[in-house]
Amino acid sequence: MDKKTWIVEATISDMQDALKQGWITSVELVQLYLERIELYDGQLHSILEVNPDALQIAKDLDQERSVKKVRGMLHGIPVLLKDNIDTGDKLHTSAGSISLADSYAAKDSFVAEKLRQAGAVILGKTNMTEWANFMSASMWAGYSSRKGLTLNPYGPGELFIGGSSSGSGAAVAANLAAAAIGTETSGSIISPSSQNSLVGIKPTMGLVSRSGIIPITYTQDTAGPMARTVADAAILLGAITGADDQDEATNIDPQHRIKDYTEFLDAGYLKQARIGIPRHYYKHLDRDRLDIVESAIQVLREQGAVIIDPVDLPCQNTKWDANVLRYEFKKYVNDYLVNVDSSLPVHSLADVIAYNEAHADRAQKYGQGTLIWAEETSGTLTEQEYLESRQKNREMAGTRGIDQVLQEFQLDALLFLGNEYGPDLAARAGYPSITVPGGYAENGVIAPGGYMTKGPQGITFIGTAYSEPVLIKLAYGFEQATRHRVAPKLSSQSSE
């Protein structure tokens, strides 16, 4: 088979087999992806920067392979990182903001370091919704002042891209890398994965270190894998988990630290699974998307799962707020910015706001109302409003929400469509989510966020803390029974 054809939808296992057999080298893999980026990303705007050292890194890893030193499943595999994840190399880390366009991190984030140790080739940085979509309430998902608007490869300019790991979603969907790392505070891995027919895993808080990642919050932020298959996402997740003395949240029970999640690729588990259907959260769905959910439920039944329909969550009528994000953003973004190089123009949130005002023609296409809203807080995390919201999130979404209904009905997980409500509950609780391609909505309506609801749709499973093994089993079983993902038809025509 021609290698340019083969690379489309090739899995990490496919690549490792080809590398092992000598049919391809890591240098060739990198070159194939660089060619695809050159050919297709002029329209998608998913890649912010390509690593100028990628080919040399691949060459070094090929040399290791030649002397029988293979680090694992990611050895020589090109992956992309979201632009808020530090890399101590020639790539910038800017959260999509022109105020940090010249910022080089002094060292790798924990996640980047783990990927390098696993033998991955960091191919580049992906575009993202600027400041992880915590800059302006009117900002379009996928937009940054550094790169412009990321477009969905299944319908550039027509279909919703999802945010804020938008570039990671579009790039992996378009086969511009083997996989990518996104980050999530609430939905920012699950949303673009769902909208781009990908598998995305938002891990339990503390499973993956946040050190070296430009933050929104301390309470909810986490990095996680975005890939074309459950198996690839499982491989990536195992590579980035671990204890980090720079992030106390990773000081968890060692039994939860799993290095190989591929052992949970068990399609037969659905025969013993119990899955809850929270109908309350389906009431707003249009016909096409509700049909996708109903089809998924039927598939799970046919595969032997026990479906409890409906289940009511005690928290389902709770009024939520964004106070945790608002108060923690100022504190933790200041902690990050104070350490950036002294030559840069911003070292605090106040500096960012001032820089944006001074460069409004480029920096404020959608304003910066959310940044100003966050700057109005003390930055000390002592406000009663903040403390009450943080406790409410963990208690109502977690122990008195997800946990209570899982325990009441002895469930493995709850099923939601894409990023609709469930992932936000899981994020507030610090619990995991996994989304897997669920189908394609031919028609749609304008959703409350102002986006068109047609296009790829994910089926999302959420569970309790550290339930990644079970969620992977459920997602893998559903994926193997349906195989909904189809590669997008790409055009090399630039939208610029």
Matching residue, tokens 């994965």: 193
Select which of 99, 109, 136, 164 is catalytic: 164
Q: Percent of the chain, pLDDT > 90?
A: 97
Q: Which of 447, 334, 327 shows the shortest CA–CA distance to 383?
A: 327
Mean pLDDT on 303-322: 98
Q: Which fold has domain 3-264?
A: Amidase signature (AS) enzymes (3.90.1300)
Task: Catalogue the E-assigned strands of 185-313.
Answer: 199-202, 222-227, 274-276, 306-308
C-beta of residue 418 within 8 angstroms of C-beta of residue 447: no
Select which of 46, 82, 94, 114 is catalytic: 82
The domain spans of the chain are: 3-264
Q: How far is CA 313 from CA 142, 293, 296, in A?
A: 32, 18, 21
- Each residue of 385-440: pLDDT tens digit? 999 999 999 999 999 999 999 999 999 999 999 999 999 999 999 999 999 999 99
Query: What is the pLDDT, as a whole number, of residue 494?
Result: 55
Give the tokens for residue 442: 């031919």
- Each residue of 33-74: pLDDT tens digit? 999 999 999 999 999 999 999 999 999 999 999 999 999 999
How far, in Å, CA of 46 to CA of 35, rounded?
Answer: 14
Mean pLDDT on 471-486: 98
Select which of 144, 168, 188, 209 is catalytic: 188
The distance of Cα 268 from the centroid of its chain, to the nearest Å, equals 27
How far, in Å, CA of 397 to CA of 190, rounded?
Answer: 18
Q: Which of 139, 142, 131, 138 shows the shortest CA–CA distance to 192?
A: 142
C-beta of residue 208 within 8 angstroms of C-beta of residue 475: no
Check pLDDT > 50 for residue 495: no
How far, in Å, CA of 187 to CA of 201, rounded?
Answer: 10
How far, in Å, CA of 146 to CA of 95, rounded?
Answer: 9
Maximum distance among all alpha carbons in the chain?
63
Q: How far is CA 212 from CA 105, 257, 427, in A?
A: 8, 20, 20
Mean pLDDT on 345-359: 98
How many Cβ atoms sit within 10 Å of the Cβ of residue 410? 10
Query: What is the pLDDT, as a whole number, of residue 492?
Result: 83
- In angstroms, the first-to-last Cα distance of the chain is 33
With the C-alpha atoms ordered 77, 82, 86, 92, is the resulting torsion angle positive or negative?
positive
283 is catalytic: no
How far, in Å, CA of 149 to CA of 48, rounded?
Answer: 11
Query: What is the pLDDT, as a whole number, of residue 496?
Result: 45
Check pLDDT > 50 for residue 109: yes
Matching residue, tokens 């690379």: 7
Mean pLDDT on 287-309: 98
82 is catalytic: yes
User: What order of strands is seen across the sheet that includes strand 179-184?
Assistant: 47-50, 121-126, 78-82, 179-184, 222-227, 199-202, 433-441, 455-462, 413-417, 274-276, 306-308
Query: What is the pLDDT, as a whole number, of residue 448?
Result: 75
- The mean pLDDT value of the chain amounts to 97
How far, in Å, CA of 87 to CA of 107, rounded?
Answer: 6
Check pLDDT > 50 for residue 115: yes
Query: What is the pLDDT, as a whole number, of residue 493?
Result: 64
How far, in Å, CA of 401 to CA of 399, rounded?
Answer: 6
How many Cβ atoms sit within 10 Å of the Cβ of residue 262? 17
Q: How confident is the model at residue 451 (pLDDT cuts 50, 70, 90)?
A: confident
* Enclosing H/E stretch for 448: none
In sequence order, the β-bridge partners of residue 483 are none
Length of the chain: 496
